[in-house]
């Protein structure tokens, strides 16, 4: 009896924890239009996704003037 109660508690805990999982947020609908090209496929980045992401990250960080001020002091 005690084993069954123990197993039930473990199962209940597993089900309860499953509720913490992030559910997919993408709508289940399909896109019916034309395929769009990748932004890093241009001549500038030649398909190098890492280089493109690096360029964007650099520009994003330049929006932080606290960092910019420190860079200027150096």
Separation between Cα atoms, residue 49 and residue 14, nearest integer Å: 39
| Token digits of residue 9 | 């508690």
Among positions 6, 10, 11, 53, the unique one binding another protein when judged by CB under 8 A = 53
The least CB distance from residue 61 to another protein, in Å, is 7
Cβ neighbors of 7 (< 8 A, separation 6 or more) are: none
Q: Report the nearest approach of another protein to the CB of residue 70 (Å).
A: 11
Question: For the window 5-44, what string marks contact with another protein as x by the rule CB under 8 A?
Answer: --------------------xxx-xxxxxxxxxxxxxx-x
């Amino acid at each position: 009896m005690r084993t069954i109660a123990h197993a039930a508690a473990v199962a209940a805990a597993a089900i309860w924890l499953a509720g913490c999982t992030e559910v997919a947020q993408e709508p289940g609908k399909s896109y019916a239009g034309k395929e769009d090209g990748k932004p890093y496929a241009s001549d500038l980045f030649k398909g190098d996704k890492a280089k493109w992401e690096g360029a964007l990250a650099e520009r994003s960080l330049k929006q932080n003037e606290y960092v910019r001020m420190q860079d200027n002091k150096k």
